[in-house]
């Protein structure tokens, strides 16, 4: 029997069953422990980034090449025929005629699903607008599992921009499967959207709003930081909230020993560099896990058996 992800599009965490997420997680851990250089031999993958990226693009491209495959693509949509008005539907028809899979990052919500509708080969969503970032979720799950030894019934605090941050949306939709409890710390205008809190309610996962990072750090097993973007606020409002969502070692004074701080990165001011030397900092290990998470996705989508 082929694995259930063979030839599948990976667009949203919500499309994946808990069993499929577990398969991805365990494949990533296996590929980290036992590297394979053959799983994409003879395969050509398109890496199409219409929006800036450091980690996602380079770790996907590293994953393809370390698995024995080859990559074509672009890092800037401004150099493609999208600039001349070519539609995503035609882009899908063209690139899927050249390659075995397409990885796409795009600034518009829903762009990955549109591409998949017109592609003859599997599409992997590398982030679409404020919507979804499923490969980031998988590397977050790998890191949480590695650091906590389990996924079930963990206390997950999320801080920063919870409204527009696609990584926290995808991660809630994954971790609700394992009965996790959630706490949110954000400016009111950047609170977690209702559709996510409603999904948590339906899954029976408790969630609360906490007033500051100190309380969240004392409560949580995982503190997932995100960037509050200055451009979301007028100058006065930004001056009022600035600093309230920034982490430094003093904020972690009351943390439990098992607390780990994650961040999808890039960071700007929200995690002070002094935090990097604390035993809680785990964001660089998290970013490194991106290669194994993306190896797992590519291997399972492009091979009947792994």
70-74 and 44-49: which strand pairing? parallel
- CA–CA gap between residue 54 and residue 167 (Å, rounded): 15
Query: What is the separation, in whole angstroms, between the first and last Cα of the chain?
Result: 12
- Among candidate residues 57, 66, 105, 155, the one labeled active-site is 105
Minimal distance, residue 263 CB to ligand CP, in Å: 8
Other C-beta atoms within 10 Å of 82: how many? 17
CB 264 within 8 A of CB 167: yes
- Among candidate residues 43, 57, 113, 133, the one labeled active-site is 133
Minimal distance, residue 139 CB to ligand CP, in Å: 9
In the region spanning residues 208 to 237, those forming contacts with ligand CP, defined by CB under 6 A, are: none
Q: Phi and psi (nearest 5°) for 263?
A: -160, 135
- Reply yes or no on whether 56 is catalytic: yes
Cβ proximity to ligand CP: between 109 and 117 the closer is: 109
The residues, any chain, with a CB within 8 Å of residue 59's CB and separated by 6 or more, are 287, 290, 291, 294
The residues, any chain, with a CB within 8 Å of residue 243's CB and separated by 6 or more, are none
Among 7, 32, 36, 55, binds ligand CP (CB under 6 A): 55
Minimal distance, residue 95 CB to ligand CP, in Å: 20
- Reply yes or no on whether 106 is catalytic: no
Cβ proximity to ligand CP: between 103 and 190 the closer is: 103
Cβ proximity to ligand CP: between 35 and 107 the closer is: 107
- CA–CA gap between residue 290 and residue 134 (Å, rounded): 11
Strand order of the sheet with strand 181-185?
207-209, 181-185, 155-159, 222-225, 260-262
Would you say 265 is a known binding-site residue?
A: yes
Write the interaction track for ligand CP spanning residues 250-269; mark x where CB under 6 A is met and - where it is not: --------------xxx---
- Reply yes or no on whether 133 is catalytic: yes
Residue 173 sits in the site that holds ligand CP (CB under 6 A): no
Among 91, 136, 143, 173, binds ligand CP (CB under 6 A): 136
Q: Which residues bind ligand CP (CB under 6 A)?
A: 53-56, 127, 136, 264-266
Active-site residue set: 55-56, 84, 105, 133
């Amino acid at each position: 029997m082929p694995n259930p992800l063979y030839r599948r599009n990976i667009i949203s965490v919500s499309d994946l069953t808990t069993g499929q997420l577990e398969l991805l997680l365990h494949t990533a851990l296996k590929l980290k422990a036992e590297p394979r250089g053959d799983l994409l031999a003879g395969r050509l993958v398109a890496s199409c980034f219409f929006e800036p990226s450091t980690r996602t693009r380079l770790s996907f491209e590293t994953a393809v090449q370390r698995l024995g495959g080859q990559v074509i693509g672009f890092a800037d949509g401004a150099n493609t025929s999208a600039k001349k008005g070519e539609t995503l539907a035609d882009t899908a028809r063209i690139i899927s005629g050249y390659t075995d899979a397409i990885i796409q990052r795009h600034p518009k919500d829903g762009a990955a699903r549109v591409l998949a509708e017109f592609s003859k080969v599997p599409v992997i969503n590398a982030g679409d607008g404020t919507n979804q970032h499923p490969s980031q979720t998988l590397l977050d799950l790998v890191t949480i599992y590695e650091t906590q030894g389990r996924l079930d019934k963990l206390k997950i605090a999320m801080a920063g921009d919870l409204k527009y941050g696609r990584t926290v949306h995808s991660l809630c939709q994954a971790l609700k499967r394992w009965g996790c409890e959630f706490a949110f710390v954000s400016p009111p205008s950047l609170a977690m959207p209702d559709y996510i809190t409603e999904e948590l309610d339906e899954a029976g996962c408790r969630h609360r709003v906490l007033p500051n990072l100190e309380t969240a750090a004392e409560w949580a097993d995982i503190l997932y930081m995100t960037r509050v973007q200055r451009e979301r606020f007028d100058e006065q409002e930004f001056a009022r909230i600035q600093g309230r969502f920034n982490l430094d070692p003093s904020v972690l004074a009351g943390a439990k020993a098992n607390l780990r701080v994650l961040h999808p990165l890039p960071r700007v001011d929200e995690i002070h560099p002094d935090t990097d030397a604390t035993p809680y900092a785990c964001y660089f290990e998290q970013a490194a896990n991106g290669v194994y998470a993306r190896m797992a996705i590519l291997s399972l989508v492009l091979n009947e058996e792994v």
